[in-house]
Amino acid sequence: MNRISFNCSNLVAQQYGYYPEDTWDACVAAVNAYYSPPETFAERFEQMILQIKALDFDALDIWTPGQLSWRWASAEHIATARALLDKHQMAVTTIGGDFGETRAEFVAACKLAVGVNTKILSGVCDVLHSDRAFVVKTLEEFDVFLSVENHPETSPRVMLAEIGDTAGGRIGTTIDTGWWATQHYDVVRAIEELGKHIMHVHLKDVRDGPEHINVGYGQGIVPLEASVRALKRIGYTGDYSIENHPTDHDPIPEIKIARGLVREWLA
What is the reported pLDDT for 77? 98
Walk me through the domains of the chain, giving residue ranges and CATH numbers.
4-266 (3.20.20.150)
Give the model confidence (pLDDT) of 222-249 as tens digits: 999 999 999 999 999 999 999 999 999 9
Averaged over 167-177, what is the pLDDT? 98
- 188 pLDDT band, cuts 50/70/90, is very high
Query: Over pLDDT 70: what percentage of the chain?
Result: 100
Instruction: Render pLDDT for 41-77 as a digit per residue (tens, 0 to 9).
Output: 999 999 999 999 999 999 999 999 999 999 999 999 9
Helix (H) or strand (E) holding 5: strand 4-7
Of 122, 78, 125, 65, the residue nearest 99 (C-alpha): 125
Rounded to whole angstroms, how far apart are CA atoms 122 and 10? Answer: 16
Q: Average pLDDT over the chain, rounded to whole?
A: 97
Convert the pLDDT of each residue in 193-211 to its tens digit: 999 999 999 999 999 999 9
* Contact in structure between 6 and 255 (CB atoms under 8 Å): yes
Share of the chain above pLDDT 90, in %: 97
Asked whether residue 20 carries a pLDDT value surpassing 80, the answer given is no
> 109-130 pLDDT, tens per residue?
999 999 999 999 999 999 999 9
pLDDT by residue (tens digit) across 135-161?
999 999 999 999 999 999 999 999 999
DSSP 119-149: -EEEEE-HHHHH-HHHHHHHHHHHT-EEEEE
Q: Helix axis angle, 38-54 relative to 24-35, nearest 10°?
A: 110
Return the pLDDT at 19: 86
DSSP-derived pairing of the beta strands 198-203 and 171-176 = parallel
